[in-house]
Amino acid sequence: MIDVTVVLVNDGYASTAIAPLEVFSSAGVLLNAFAGETPRPQFRVQVASLDGQPVQSAHQLAVSPQTSISEIEKTDLIVVSAIGLDVDGALAAHRPLLDWLCHWNAHGAGVAAACAGVSFLAEAGLLDGRRATTHWALAQEFAQRYPKVDWHPEAFITEDAGVYCGGGVYGVIDLSLYLVEKFCGHDIALDCARSMLVEMPRVNQAGFAVLPLTSRHDDGAIRKAEEWLHAHFHEDVKLEGLAAQLGMSPRNFERRFKAATGMKARNYLQALRVAAARRMLEQGARSVQQVGSAVGYDDAAHFRTLFKRHTGLTPAAYRARFGREAERLPAGRS
């Protein structure tokens, strides 16, 4: 039996505690019950708060724990629920949690969090030099706040040396199922997903992101370059020519562009094109080749490769998931 501790935090998202509790408690149990078989629970779950007292969620829901973190005597896995957007306030209010997480991780317990709750792991130093993810909208802020972390905001889930991170609030379901699979195997995780009518864990969240293609900076020349790229990305862009227009050498242009935007100019151009292609696919464009040509890629195979690299999905799969057709209910449903 695997011991799991789900940690409640004040002013957080209750679903990021309740969903892991229900997923872990259902593993080996729910589908067995449906099939009339003997339940085989895989996890023993305890719910704790900092002091053992009920917490108030971000939406005024009171949630009561079973115990306090100091009373936990055994745990193999810890899942910390997600906080709201006041990261500084949450960290200050839950400062004792950081040492507690470090203690258990040093004693072999896995530690997991999703969305803004990942800040607890980062603040505790558990993510230094490790791969991590968070909600795509928080990625830039967290990268600045925690520069020692190897951030991968395109990923739904990261795992590095027993520390697990998930993307957005409802990405905690993906993270929980990933952990079921990690600790109990694929078959039990699949049975758990089937019984709860959810998909197996997704691995990439870039397709859900509204990519911020500009960042705050004071380099006026690079701002002009960004504006030019926004207007001409669908053309045959020569970055060397753009650098010349701005009176820079290609090498100096690349250096200044990355310093200002955090991206290489060619990657920025690719991101612009993929963002435009996503919008076209979302609006129901039928031909992937035409979409590629419209955003500057006449080579359809090259376009598919780049699109999948940025979004984690092929153009056709992206259209199926996010296009207008995807909004329609299956035949016979109402």
77 vs 10, 18, 192, 277, 318, CA distance in Å?
Answer: 21, 16, 18, 41, 34
Pairing of strands 67-68, 62-63: unpaired
pLDDT-derived band at 202, boundaries 50, 70, 90: confident
CA distance 53 to 59: 18
Nearest Cα residue to 206 out of 252, 270, 258, 265:
270
pLDDT > 50? residue 248: yes
- Six-digit token string for 112: 């997991």
pLDDT band at 243 (very low <50, low <70, confident <90, very high): very high
The per-residue pLDDT of the chain, averaged, comes to 89
Letter for the amino acid at 25? Answer: S
* 97 and 79 Cβ atoms separated by less than 8 Å: no
**φ, ψ at 224 (rounded to 5°):** -65, -40
Dist CA 242 CA 279 (whole Å): 26
| All domains in the chain, ordered by first residue | 2-208 (3.40.50.880), 220-325 (1.10.10.60)
Residue 75: exposed, middle, or buried by beta-carbon count in 10 A (0-12, 13-18, 19+)?
Answer: buried
332 pLDDT higher than 50:
no
pLDDT of residue 209: 62
CA nearest neighbour of 120 among 141, 95, 86? 95
Average pLDDT of the residues in 66-89:
95
- pLDDT tens sequence across 253-293: 999 999 988 889 999 999 999 988 988 888 877 789 999 99
In total, the chain counts a number of residues equal to 334
Which residues 6+ apart lie within 8 Å of 103 measured at CB? none
**Is residue 222 over pLDDT 50?**
yes
- pLDDT band, residue 216 (cuts 50/70/90): low
